[in-house]
Structure 1
């Protein structure tokens, strides 16, 4: 396995040498740069996977350096540090693309933990950057995480769609990231310097949605004490994202269609039309084809909205992306919740990668937030997972579809050994670690169970099971 390469950028030679010596001792290949400009030049010479940089440096400071680095090498992971920390600086660094931020003086063991996590993240992420070189704007797609074939195809589609002003209809289950895709299309378009305005059509009462969309004039209805512009005017020359478009009532569908056709709108209570130049991106988790067939959604509006249709895959269809998402959300919540959870053990990673995720990426993100808050530190194991996730693994093993013998054979002894280990650990879990009760659940003698635990070197939880 190739030794990871790390670049240290700091104008303070003493600090730079100190960090470099520590990482070299830990087995990494380390290069040094005395400021951001020097670091950019060194990166052209050395194929580094990570940069650790100070913020306060001459010529090109740390923040500007990270921005420039992400524009040319978005696959490189960056860890920033400074003795002059504040909330605004931290927010700007993370927004620019920093993987983690440390306050000086920092603990070297803590640094090593984040270096390991960062390199794991980089290894997963770099596959997607290498596999599709035709995707040119990956730095602007960083918020959409994935390396599976379906996601790489999505990235290509976003790039192609962004150059057009045609309306886009994004369809997918709840929690698949429809607004993230809409924002990416806007960010890559020639409207990126104008407003991106989002409106959830299902979150606004029907009687107020027209005013939200088109605005109103003073006195047009009870409570209209002043004139107000709508979301269309807010998004003029930019992009309007209409989420949950399938929940829009028929009367408003007619008015929306008129605006799309004429590029003019009339605020509620007004007799004057206003010209608008807005790109529409709509989204729904409903099947609009079926709604059109049942007359719940206007056919003419449907065809106006779906000039370019995009279907987002559910998470269960891209399980290979789960480890990348888990690592990304872990770092996010470690920072925001001020925790130091180091990662997920192999068994947890396997279980979560094979879970169906009915709530998609949003469910996974909520789970990681919960685990980070409760765990606080250490490695997340199967015993930290809520029952429904642990249970899914048991159901798959015991009651799943019949297994097929692979063409290249199968190690029966290993499978039986693994199955027995899982049952023993489950019995210990159900008994709270009590070996006598666990043995009864397995219809074994207590001494037999103890011998198996010693032979297999199984340990329940963080400590030994109770006698």
Structure 2
């Protein structure tokens, strides 16, 4: 490991401090030692450390309390806990408080250095993530809170291995992005990344999609087709919605995973493939195994390392950064001049439950930018969010349109009309005030009403 690191070691035992600091220094790193939590917190606030290694059991204030204090103080250095009295409950508590890892004493030098390397990799990940504020990428994970921090630590840990990963999560949570990240951080990154959504392919065609077919092997097979496994040779194959794979195909998948060999339909010649398989699903595979919908032996082949992605509603702290990221994409794709989201608009977006998760947020950001003038404010968000629209239809009111149907131009026009109507109604049909609230000239609002087919005589006041 070429990078020189600075580590803070916290333990009330002098012998432990001496042995650990010596191990790190012999490996070319710097180590600062401390025998109590209060002093450790002071040091962490005033100095920069690449990792903090703390004992759990200490007099006065223990390591778990120190961990909570560090997080409350905004210390961003990865924290690793250690204990000679380790048990599962203690490790779970430490992880929930934000610890990167939990080690059991006595510690080997090899384990210490591997842990440090993981911490340094995570720090680099966070540094790269901060750069997303000025980058416009289509295939990047965007996060800032502790919820995704723990997920990223898992990704960093498993990415360099050949272990098969199963990514769990609701639709729209970013399962394919996680799979891409695993590929890009693996030694296979120079190879292809190939995807297949098992739920989107008809049952009678999925074997051909995965294994390929020879010309004339079935009606319509006008030429040889190379399947996804061969396409992904020396790279990564991502099988999305593996829980929807037909039962007959599951048995054939099992053989390929065991032998790394495929046979195209219409051929008896085996083809060796060197592929890392990553799968994903929004279904409960354990339950499917119990009901017989998913083969138990295949389950144990693909669920080597599970990663569970949280829904967006449980990581609302990431929404401001996600909104900024998606807005930059929209500006760049359309050549638009950037406009800001107000603080109240972001707060309104954070209160919504996002049943469609990140995918829904991405679409909402584009919709809001299409509908806004000089800024995106809370009122525009209020009108756009489906939860608001669902409750806006009441006797005597002008109903909001269904915004999830029809071509984009029709949806935009419908929403624009509803927004103008709502503001005119709110201002008791005072066109001057309504125009000011919408950021338009009075004459422009009249023209807009004509374009949208709004008869002001028919607009009731609130």
Instruction: Please tell me the TM-score bracket, short chain as reference.
Output: 0.5 to 0.7
Q: Are residue 148 (structure 1) and residue 139 (structure 2) matched? A: no
For the residue of structure 2 that corresponds to 1:207, the secondary structure is coil
Deviation (angstroms), 1:267: 1.1
Q: Are residue 382 (structure 1) and residue 388 (structure 2) matched? A: no
Q: Which runs of 4+ in 1 moved over 4 A?
A: 127-133, 139-142, 390-395, 427-430, 463-467
Deviation (angstroms), 1:389: 2.5
Identify the match of residue 228 of structure 1 among 225, 237, 256: 225
For the residue of structure 1 that corresponds to 2:324, the secondary structure is helix
Identify the match of residue 250 of structure 2 among 249, 253, 258: 253
Deviation (angstroms), 1:429: 4.2
Relative to the length of structure 1, the TM-score reads 0.57
> Mind listing any 5+ residue stretches in structure 1 that lack a counterpart?
1-126, 396-426, 437-449, 451-458
* Aligned-partner Cα distance in 2 for 1:129–1:339: 38
Would the alpha carbon gap of residues 210 and 394 (structure 1) be closer, same or farther in structure 2, given more than 3 Å must change? closer
Contact kept in structure 2, 1:337 and 1:373, CA below 8 Å: no
> Mind listing any 5+ residue stretches in structure 2 that lack a counterpart?
1-72, 79-118, 133-139, 392-420, 446-460
* Aligned-partner Cα distance in 2 for 1:259–1:394: 48
Q: Are residue 326 (structure 1) and residue 320 (structure 2) matched? A: no
Q: Are residue 290 (structure 1) and residue 284 (structure 2) matched? A: no
Q: Are residue 270 (structure 1) and residue 280 (structure 2) matched? A: no
Q: Corresponding residue for 1:159?
A: 156
Deviation (angstroms), 1:364: 0.4
Deviation (angstroms), 1:136: 4.7
Aligned runs of 1:110-189 on 2, under 5 Å? 130=76, 132=78, 134=120, 135-138=122-125, 143-189=140-186
Q: Corresponding residue for 2:425?
A: 431
Q: Deviations over 1:133-152 (max 9, x none)?
A: 63155277661001111111
Contact kept in structure 2, 1:329 and 1:365, CA below 8 Å: yes
Would the alpha carbon gap of residues 358 and 149 (structure 1) be closer, same or farther in structure 2, given more than 3 Å must change? same
For the residue of structure 1 that corresponds to 2:340, the secondary structure is strand
Deviation (angstroms), 1:227: 1.9
Aligned runs of 1:46-445 on 2, under 5 Å? 130=76, 132=78, 134=120, 135-138=122-125, 143-375=140-372, 377-385=373-381, 387=383, 389=385, 392=388, 429=423, 431-434=425-428
Q: Deviations over 1:430-458 (max 9, x none)?
A: 7231189xxxxxxxxxxxxx9xxxxxxxx
Q: Corresponding residue for 1:441?
A: none
Q: Corresponding residue for 2:4?
A: none
* Aligned-partner Cα distance in 1 for 2:235–2:247: 26
Q: Corresponding residue for 1:46?
A: none
Would the alpha carbon gap of residues 158 and 289 (structure 1) be closer, same or farther in structure 2, given more than 3 Å must change? same
* Aligned-partner Cα distance in 2 for 1:243–1:236: 18
Contact kept in structure 2, 1:351 and 1:389, CA below 8 Å: no
* Aligned-partner Cα distance in 1 for 2:426–2:211: 61
Deviation (angstroms), 1:269: 1.5
For the residue of structure 1 that corresponds to 2:346, the secondary structure is helix
* Aligned-partner Cα distance in 1 for 2:153–2:265: 40
Would the alpha carbon gap of residues 274 and 282 (structure 1) be closer, same or farther in structure 2, given more than 3 Å must change? same
Q: Corresponding residue for 1:453?
A: none
Contact kept in structure 2, 1:140 and 1:188, CA below 8 Å: no
Q: Deviations over 1:246-269 (max 9, x none)?
A: 111000000001100111111111
Task: Using the TM superposition, name which of 325-334 and 181-190 deviates more.
Answer: 325-334
Contact kept in structure 2, 1:194 and 1:238, CA below 8 Å: yes
Contact kept in structure 1, 2:382 and 2:388, CA below 8 Å: no
Relative to the length of structure 2, the TM-score reads 0.58
Contact kept in structure 2, 1:148 and 1:321, CA below 8 Å: yes
Contact kept in structure 1, 2:194 and 2:228, CA below 8 Å: yes
Contact kept in structure 1, 2:166 and 2:305, CA below 8 Å: yes
For the residue of structure 2 that corresponds to 1:380, the secondary structure is coil
* Aligned-partner Cα distance in 2 for 1:384–1:338: 22
Q: Deviations over 1:173-231 (max 9, x none)?
A: 01111111001000000111111111111121111110110011122111112222211
* Aligned-partner Cα distance in 1 for 2:145–2:277: 28
Q: For this pair of structures, how many residues does the alignment match?
A: 291
